[in-house]
Amino acid sequence: MKAVIFDLDGVLITTDDCHYEAWKQMADEEGIYFDRAINERLRGVSRMD
């Protein structure tokens, strides 16, 4: 075997809650309102957008 390709996020583990908690903590520290509904709207959006 020369290589192995696997999809970690959403297949082996789910990191959605970890990402939400990290963004929520950052928003709280900056005084920005952030909840799960906002998080859902931003999922999949490029950080450049």
Is residue 17 within 8 Å of 24, Cβ to Cβ? no
Decide if 28 is catalytic. Answer: no
Decide if 9 is catalytic. Answer: yes
Length of the chain: 49
Choice among 9, 16, 28, 35 that is catalytic:
9
Which two three-digit tokens encode residue 4? 């192995």
Tell me if residue 1 falls in helix, strand or coil.
Answer: coil
Residues annotated as catalytic are: 7, 9
